[in-house]
Structure 1
Amino acid sequence: MSATTASPTAPTLLPPPAVGTLPVLLAQQQARSAVLRREDATARAARLQRLHDWITRNREAIQQALYQDFRKPATETDVTEIYATQAEISHALKHLRQWMAPRRVGVPLALLGTRSWVQYEPKGVALIIAPWNYPFYLAVGPLASALAAGNCCVLKPSEMTPGVSALLARLVGEVFEPAEVSVVEGGKDVATELLSLPFDHIFFTGSPQVGKVVMRAAAEHLASVTLELGGKSPAVVDATANLRDAAEKIVWGKCVNAGQTCVAPDYLLVHESVRDALVAEIRGVLARFYQPEGGSVSESASLARIVNGHHFQRVARLLEDAQRRGATVAVGGSVDQTQCFIEPTVLLDVPLDSAVMQEEIFGPLLPVCTFSTLMEAADFINARPRPLALYLFSGHDENQRYLLGRVPAGGACINETLVHLGHPELPFGGSGNSGIGRAHGHYGFVAFSNEKAVLRQRIGATGIKFFYPPYTPKVRHMVDMLLKYLG
């Protein structure tokens, strides 16, 4: 079977409607969702398996699309786009029957004789708006959760990654009926039209600024939302940390995907006593990672590029502004507009009012700030919007507990960066400005599901009838006894 041939078990496929007929597409999916609502785990699993198999057959095409869009190394694509997606699908396949099964709950005293459970049902038709930074994983991962929950989906890829956008359109066209899953390509005008439609759930990954637009649009139809946003995620390195180990993990977390990662370490908070030693370790790690045989970092085949000229200029301006305000480049600093290349750069003595300390960087710039006490570090972070991730590098358990207990964040890693994102049993999402709702594994399944509360009462005499009117002294005495029991 060739890489472009659909599975023999795939449905007869029709081209998706044109953009001008998006209400028609939504109506088709709304009708189809009534059928999917009645499907069992076997039918849902078959749909997920077709998706999994297509990805396996088209590994090289996915690599090529990511390279086309921002020269992402094939190995990095394998790990952060293909493996991460396949792991999400495989986890759903393994646990789907368990997730779909009604969940029994206990019975309170006043409702003795009843049986109750939570029944999971699909929300209906979901809109998934994917970002450009991980354009395959952050499109297909949520899609897998939506399909596991039994929904129909419209997928809107980012126009900034046209190679992956076209690939996703091909994937969906070969694997799904348009009434079940459709890709709608286009720019801001298309996204605006989609957001005007009454979807049952919207899953958006992107910036907090656009997240607010999505939430306002969802409010018009009282649609539920999952907003996977971002922010400035700090990495705290205390005096007890293993600096070599911390440097390796921080550099990898910062430089994978050229820093264009929502949970990348945005800035370092380093104990003042180890700042210079840590910077020296980071300098050595950067050389080992991206200059193993000498030469220029820009020649490294292991480093992606900034996605386009607009974002290159944005990150370059952050670097220029920081230097103009007095920051020192300790490592890196070179840029090449012709390649949309920005060298991994460590900045010292960065003024707190500089743009690089005010905006989410989304590039390979790493400002370094210092602290003298853990309270000072916690206060520094808490004075800013809640981060999507918090990274703690420490060899002291009490220091770890102190910061975990005092710094709100969407998620956290101790002596690591990024990889909590890939743990299928952990919920992923933000807090406050960094997001609403949770994704991945069972949490993703629940995000796309309505948790229907069901109570089954027996016919005839029931406990609750003791409290029916008229409210005689006997009834009031029963209420008094019940409240006394609860007290």
Structure 2
Amino acid sequence: MKDKVSLLRQASPKWQMVPMRERLRMVRRFRSRLRCQMLSLPGLFPNRPVPETLTAEWLPLLAASTFLLRKARKILAPRRCGVFGRPLWLPGVTSVVERRPFGAVLILAPGNYPLMLPGIQALQALVAGNAVALKPASGGEAAAHLLQTLLRQAGCPDGLFIVLSVDDGPDAVAAGFDLIILTGSAQTGRTVLRQAAATLTPTIMELSGVDAVFVLPDADLSLVVQSLAYGARLNNGATCIAPHRVFIHHTQRATLLTGLRTALAKKKPLALAPRTQESISDLKAIITIAGGTAETIGNVTLFSETETLQHLLDVDIFAPWLAVTGVESMEEALTLNQTSSYALGASIFGPEEDARLLARRLPVGSICINDLIIPTADPRLPFAGAHSSGYGTTRGPEGLLAVTRPVVTSSRRLFL
């Protein structure tokens, strides 16, 4: 594995010397070839509805490519610090701040969105001048090799983007890459960090979420029901910013539960993997033993009577489940939400002005008002979590900057 890291390190400086316009031409050709995959792409995801595959994998990756074509040059441009604002005690000094690539970047890809998520990360790393090794999750091999094929067809130099095997994770992390980007669970994040610490490898951790939904008293409950039913079922529940913990005034809880039961009953049952079914069954047992209630409709599990059980809901289970908790006020909801160790995303339903006031008090990285899961659809938006949901940023301008490091060159004019 160290030989592969060495080869990537040799490839990165050569790629960095290629003008930005040429790197972006590769992205343009990649986008063109990706467009041609519209009809064949759903075959990689036989257990997912075709429209969902196109909207969750294909369209966001296309949009991210377009974003880079339009904005990457300006985002990564050097910044000159000249006379204006210069300290008086530094006469004749001019500095330039450049964004340089890390070098060899390791992407540890997730299994839930194996094309879109690592695809965006890889494109950003390559545009910034890095060389990339992609380690797919189990089941994501075909998507990883499709990315490799499209990049090769787009003119990506040999050896600049390689695909590792599914089992190469531990060896790759220990091999001493220059940057590691992980999208995965909090448990996996801790394991990777312990290994990365040995080589002092910087990391970006995009980890799990157990997102909260705050339903204000004046919210449109029909919109809430529609949104929750969609968000809980998206990608069979395997979405890191899917809704899970729902807080609503106790006088409206029964109405919301009734609406959810009706909406979910009209949906086609989800096809859950045995491991997912086992995980949700374990959670159901824990909640019911503790005094809560659980019911499953179309393979979406609804929990209620969970007012005193928030500590049991602090779990990053990739499964379709919703816990509806009645509260006296949003102040109580905020207090209950603080028991969660995760802080990835949140949603608020209700009047926008009130929702924005509440949003200021949430510690998460992404907040949606009267909607869900918006950040994945807009390539301009960064994606980042806090606490057990990780740190660092992917996507958007901030994500592009995150795969580079600032280098300052200062020069003093000689007075002869």
TM-score of the two chains, using structure 2 as the length reference: 0.92
Runs of 4+ in 1 over 6 A off after TM superposition: none
Gaps spanning 5+ residues in structure 1: where?
1-21, 291-296, 335-342, 462-487
2:410 matched residue in structure 1: 455
Distance 1:192-1:261 versus aligned 2 partners, 3 A rule: same
Matches within 5 A, 1:301-316: 303=270, 305-306=271-272, 308-316=273-281
Computing the radius of gyration over CA atoms, which structure comes out larger, 1 or 2?
Answer: 1
Q: What SS is found at the alignment partner of 1:282?
A: helix
Q: Match of 2:350, as an amino acid?
A: S
Maintained 8 Å contact 2:107/2:132: yes
1:262 matched residue in structure 2: 240
1:66 matched residue in structure 2: 45
| Residue of structure 2 aligned with 1:117, choices 61, 85, 96 | 96
| Residue of structure 1 aligned with 2:164, choices 184, 192, 199 | 184
> How big is the shift at 1:324?
4.4
| Residue of structure 2 aligned with 1:361, choices 294, 297, 317 | 317
| Residue of structure 1 aligned with 2:191, choices 201, 210, 213 | 213
2:56 aligned with 1:80, yes or no?
yes
Q: Match of 2:275, as an amino acid?
A: H
> How big is the shift at 1:166?
5.0
2:334 aligned with 1:378, yes or no?
yes
> How big is the shift at 1:109?
3.7
Which is worse superposed, 194-203 or 381-390?
Answer: 381-390
- Rounded Cα–Cα distance in structure 1 between residues aligned with 2:235 and 2:311: 22
- Rounded Cα–Cα distance in structure 2 between residues aligned with 1:167 and 1:399: 42
1:33 matched residue in structure 2: 12
2:68 aligned with 1:92, yes or no?
yes
Q: What SS is found at the alignment partner of 1:59?
A: coil
2:200 matched residue in structure 1: 222
1:471 matched residue in structure 2: none
Maintained 8 Å contact 2:280/2:319: yes
Matches within 5 A, 1:82-161: 82-105=58-81, 106-161=85-140
2:2 matched residue in structure 1: 23
1:6 matched residue in structure 2: none
> How big is the shift at 1:443?
1.4
> How big is the shift at 1:122?
1.1
Q: Match of 1:388, as an amino acid?
A: L
| Residue of structure 2 aligned with 1:322, choices 287, 306, 316 | 287
CA RMSD of aligned residues (A): 2.3
| Residue of structure 2 aligned with 1:271, choices 249, 254, 263 | 249
Which is worse superposed, 45-54 or 85-94?
Answer: 45-54
Maintained 8 Å contact 1:319/1:365: no
Maintained 8 Å contact 2:30/2:153: no
Distance 1:431-1:452 versus aligned 2 partners, 3 A rule: same
- Rounded Cα–Cα distance in structure 2 between residues aligned with 1:409 and 1:416: 16
| Residue of structure 2 aligned with 1:51, choices 15, 27, 30 | 30
1:445 matched residue in structure 2: 400
Maintained 8 Å contact 1:173/1:182: no
Distance 1:259-1:134 versus aligned 2 partners, 3 A rule: same
- Rounded Cα–Cα distance in structure 1 between residues aligned with 2:398 and 2:404: 10
- Rounded Cα–Cα distance in structure 2 between residues aligned with 1:109 and 1:404: 42
Maintained 8 Å contact 1:91/1:424: yes
Maintained 8 Å contact 2:94/2:412: yes
Which is worse superposed, 391-400 or 221-230?
Answer: 391-400
Distance 1:329-1:382 versus aligned 2 partners, 3 A rule: closer
Q: Match of 1:366, as an amino acid?
A: L
- Rounded Cα–Cα distance in structure 1 between residues aligned with 2:134 and 2:117: 11
1:275-327 Cα distance to aligned partner (Å, 9 max, x none)? 12222332343355x2xxxxxx33xxxx5x33x32233212322343344443
Aligned residue pair count: 412
- Rounded Cα–Cα distance in structure 2 between residues aligned with 1:423 and 1:112: 44
2:348 matched residue in structure 1: 392
Maintained 8 Å contact 2:95/2:410: yes
Maintained 8 Å contact 2:128/2:400: yes
- Rounded Cα–Cα distance in structure 1 between residues aligned with 2:130 and 2:39: 29
Q: Which has the higher strand share?
A: 2
Q: What SS is found at the alignment partner of 1:240?
A: coil
Which is worse superposed, 22-31 or 255-264?
Answer: 22-31
Q: What SS is found at the alignment partner of 1:370?
A: strand
- Rounded Cα–Cα distance in structure 2 between residues aligned with 1:374 and 1:109: 52
- Rounded Cα–Cα distance in structure 1 between residues aligned with 2:324 and 2:265: 19
1:65-115 Cα distance to aligned partner (Å, 9 max, x none)? 112xxx111100100111111111110011122123112344234335433
Maintained 8 Å contact 2:355/2:369: no
> How big is the shift at 1:255?
1.3
Matches within 5 A, 1:287-302: 287=265, 290=267, 297-298=268-269
> How big is the shift at 1:210?
0.9
> How big is the shift at 1:25?
2.0
Maintained 8 Å contact 1:158/1:165: no
